[in-house]
Amino acid sequence: MSETGWLDEDEVNLSANAFAERDSCFQDVPDRKADSPTIHELETTEGVTEFDDLHLNQGLDAIVRVDSQRKRRRVGAIPLYCILMGVIAVVAITTMGIMLPKSNNNDTSEPRTVQSNEEQVTEIQKALVEQGILNENDSVEPGSPRYKAIQFVAVHSESVSQSDSPSQEINSYAFIARYVIALTLYTLRGPWFTINSPICSLFHKQGEPLSGIRCDEKGHPTSLNLGTYSFPLEQLKFTKSSFFELVGLAEGQALSGQIPTEFGLLTSVQHLNFVNNSLDGSIPSELCKLDQLLSLKLGWNKLRGTVPECMGQMESLQLLNLNFNDLGGSLPEKSFRNLHEMYINANNFTQSLPDLVGNMSKLVGFSARDNNFYGNVASAFDRHAESLVFLDLGSNRRLGGQFPQSLLTNAPNLEYLSIGNNAIEGRLPWNIPQNDKLKVLSVYSNRMKGMIPPSIANLTSLTQFIASDNQFSGPLPSKLPTGLAALFLSGNPFSPGPIPEEWASLQRMIAFRMRRTRRNGNLPAWVGQNWTELTLLDIGANNFEGSIPASWGKLPQLEYLFLNGNAQVSGGVPESFATSSWKKVVVYQTNVTGNWEFACPKTDPEPAVLGTHIDKCSCCVLCDEWTCAKEFIDRTDKTVNWVYRNYLGV
């Protein structure tokens, strides 16, 4: 059977290699001393082992070879020959009598198999019942996860297999831990886990101290990292950078099933990661017994039910990741006092956010996107402003109150602030201090108003400013952070005017959206001259005029262009457009004409261009009325929102 196959009752490898030091739990432990005992040195055996048999066979073979050589020698006197042979025979018999073991009914020198280990399996099962780890009524049928786990520890414990009194080892924590890990992996149907898998060196990656299963020098498990990939947002370097050294299993190796309640016995575990598997059922309350646990990552699974109340009282817990499950109800309130980071995106939690975070005095990162939280954001997070590095509350819809100004005026470490798609009111602070940390500011689809303050330019590291669909007004600021790559301001009633020419300095711009913002004047030629990394340009539903600048056709990466609803834009299509990488162009309700046939061969079979007065184009849709254009625009908007979803935090 292959290494990834399941254990059959008659399929156990008990060769010397199965117990070699390279497979022991001491392999890859970074702080193991050179003179530390190996797994063989820690195990005591009685009688002759399979290694002694190997050495004995080698000795007998040597005697036979010597005897054969001497028979071939020619000697002068037959009596001398006979005497010599007699001496050799006596020596051989004497040697064999010394080396061969005495007959013993309890001899265990034969290779062990599942059948020859049945007594040990029964002994271990009885001991587990006596310790309360198993109930007498628990199913331990052959082939069940419990039965396989008992077989596993019987095979991997020399003293249990060879001693008449194995209870001392069976009662040890290291033994119980091996049993629980084996039970967990058999229960969760890990296809890569077999009877010969070395528990303490499973799935190690060089240079990744938390990869796979790790044990300390006593063989006690400290880290179980069995997620199938890393959560990218956690790669931000927060105060506990070791929490983000994630290594996942390969695709197709995902675990499935319910976490067994026995997992609560692994009290030495500090890091537990089952991210992006197919775990289902509820989170067992027994996990609360892991009193040394620092990080718990169960995101991207199929867990349901509520979070155990006792989890909020885990004093050692510093990171909790429950992203993308089907969990609901309320999390423990006024708890998690030592928690540094909580990630609970895309669940069904419903509760007051201020009550949840009230006692989290050490909070550094908090992400609760796509839930049903409610309450005043400012009252929840003003107290955490100085320590926060990451905050994402997007798409809870009922979160309200005034914009938490302290997160822009008194948050020296904040790098990511996303509170879009809620019911937050108020204004951005007028005097934003100099800040070189904040990279993302997203407040789209709220009820905010007032001017965008000129001091926003003080956010010198800002790369994304997403503020669409609010009630911001007044003139646009002439200066913005020069590192901006995404600027979304659509759907705000700013004062009429052109796009500020000073924005030509935003040479890292990738995605620009200012639909329905009362912009006017000529289409700016400097966009094509300065924004050379631009892929999305959306300035539809404004009052621009003039013709399309030829410089726009020289933008090497521009794929999506929205000019719809600018009735005063006219003229033909520039020849420079023929070499562009277009995917969708919308010039509906403009007076743009010309031959757009060049756009067709480079796109999908779906229509690539929507216009009203285009002269020639076999892949274009021509519409005079909204009912005709709606389907094309809606589908294109949906595509663009998906392509640029990261800017919306989706």
What does the alpha-carbon distance between residue 310 and residue 442 come to, in Å, rounded to a whole number?
A: 34
Determine whether 1 is exposed, middle or buried from the number of CB atoms within 10 Å of its CB (0-12, 13-18, 19+): exposed
Tokens standing for residue 492: 């705000």
Stretch (H or E) spanning 642: helix 626-643
Supply the pLDDT for residue 242.
30
Residue 205 is given by DSSP the state: B
Supply the pLDDT for residue 473.
98
What does the alpha-carbon distance between residue 177 and residue 529 come to, in Å, rounded to a whole number?
A: 65
Q: Which residue has the tokens 């310790």?
A: 131
What does the alpha-carbon distance between residue 303 and residue 274 come to, in Å, rounded to a whole number?
A: 11
326 φ, ψ (degrees, to nearest 5) = -120, 40
* Blockwise average pLDDT, block size 10, the chain, 650 residues: 34 28 30 32 29 29 34 42 50 42 35 54 84 79 87 72 55 88 87 74 68 85 77 34 37 78 94 92 96 96 96 96 97 94 97 94 96 96 95 95 96 96 97 96 97 97 97 97 97 98 97 97 96 96 96 93 96 87 91 88 75 89 90 92 80
- Name the percent of the chain in helix, strand, coil, to the closest 5: 30, 15, 50
What does the alpha-carbon distance between residue 620 and residue 586 come to, in Å, rounded to a whole number?
A: 10
> Mind listing the pLDDT tens digit for each residue in 555-607?
999 999 999 999 999 999 998 888 878 889 999 999 999 988 888 866 567 78
Tokens standing for residue 89: 């025979």
What does the alpha-carbon distance between residue 311 and residue 319 come to, in Å, rounded to a whole number?
A: 12
- Residue 410 makes CB contacts below 8 A (sequence gap 6+) with 385, 386
Supply the pLDDT for residue 55.
30
Q: How many CA atoms lie within 13 A of 63 on its CB side?
A: 16
Stretch (H or E) spanning 366: strand 365-367
Supply the pLDDT for residue 51.
27
* Exposure class string for 106-135: b at 16+ Cβ within 10 A, else e: eebeeebebeebeebbebbbebbeeeebbe
Determine whether 409 is exposed, middle or buried from the number of CB atoms within 10 Å of its CB (0-12, 13-18, 19+): middle
- Angle (CA) 246 249 251, round 5°: 130
Supply the pLDDT for residue 142.
83
The DSSP line for 255-272 is -EEPPPGGGGG-TT--EE
Mark out the alpha helices in 552-605 (DSSP H runs).
Answer: none
Supply the pLDDT for residue 108.
36
What does the alpha-carbon distance between residue 542 and residue 523 come to, in Å, rounded to a whole number?
A: 11
Supply the pLDDT for residue 70.
34
* Exposure class string for 603-637: b at 16+ Cβ within 10 A, else e: beeebbbbbbebeebebbbebeeeeebeebbeebb
Supply the pLDDT for residue 616.
86
Nearest to 419, CA basis, from 442, 402, 401: 442
> Mind listing the pLDDT tens digit for each residue in 160-214?
444 444 556 677 888 899 999 999 988 988 766 777 777 887 776 666 666 678 8
Cβ contact 257:280 at 8 Å: yes
Nearest to 364, CA basis, from 418, 415, 307, 297: 415
What does the alpha-carbon distance between residue 576 and residue 555 come to, in Å, rounded to a whole number?
A: 9
Nearest to 516, CA basis, from 496, 551, 541: 541
